[in-house]
């Protein structure tokens, strides 16, 4: 049975150090295409979005089930076994080609929807952890909103900081080794 997505108002940690900088607590979910704000006016396409989301989640759940795979294998076997009946005609080949093309085309959208939903959920969880952690930089809670250039600069900064930390660790180990 498919699990329904339960939407609730995000809870903000009672940490006086946490500053959202004018952004919505919990990351940038409200900026994502088709995202539903918990306390804002309903989008005019929200019914369609909810229907598609529920259908996509159910379809993705069933498509990932072993029975779906076995059904696909059975259909391909039936198709292959009917080849001699149809003298391996062009129409016979067109049936499998068209079927697989349509299924693949539709699955692309289901997979993308599921991937977007899962990515957003992970981003929200990470944002919550970052904002709740003492000493963490809150700017990382919304890193997905940064431009490619800003992400590269941030990556270089963290790479430099990691190298500095590694150098200090090596120096500390060398001092401990000489002291003993």
pLDDT at 42: 52
Q: For the segment 123-153, what is each residue's pLDDT rounded down to a tens digit?
A: 888 888 888 888 777 778 888 888 889 889 9
Q: What is the mean pLDDT of the chain?
A: 78
The arithmetic mean of pLDDT across residues 87-91, rounded, is: 94
CA dihedral angle for residue 171, residue 173, residue 175, residue 176, rounded to 10 degrees: 160
pLDDT at 97: 96
Q: How confident is the model at residue 31 (pLDDT cuts 50, 70, 90)?
A: very low
**pLDDT at residue 84 above 90?**
yes
Domain coordinates in residue numbering, the chain: 46-142, 146-180
């Amino acid at each position: 049975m498919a699990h329904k997505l339960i939407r609730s108002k995000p809870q903000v940690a009672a940490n006086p150090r946490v500053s959202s900088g004018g952004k919505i607590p919990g990351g940038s979910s409200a900026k994502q295409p088709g995202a539903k704000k918990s306390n804002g006016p309903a989008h005019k396409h929200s019914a369609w979005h909810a229907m598609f989301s529920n259908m996509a989640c159910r379809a993705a759940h069933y498509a990932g089930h072993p029975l779906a795979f076995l059904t696909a294998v059975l259909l391909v076997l039936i198709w292959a076994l009917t080849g001699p009946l149809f003298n391996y005609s062009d129409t016979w080949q067109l049936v499998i080609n068209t079927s697989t093309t349509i299924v693949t085309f539709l699955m692309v959208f289901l997979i993308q929807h599921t991937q977007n939903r899962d990515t957003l959920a992970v981003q929200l969880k990470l944002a919550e952890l970052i904002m709740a952690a003492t000493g963490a930089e809150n700017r990382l809670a919304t890193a997905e909103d940064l431009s490619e250039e800003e992400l590269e600069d941030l990556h270089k900064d963290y790479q430099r900081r990691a190298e500095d930390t590694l150098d200090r660790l090596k120096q500390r180990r060398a001092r401990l080794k000489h002291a003993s």
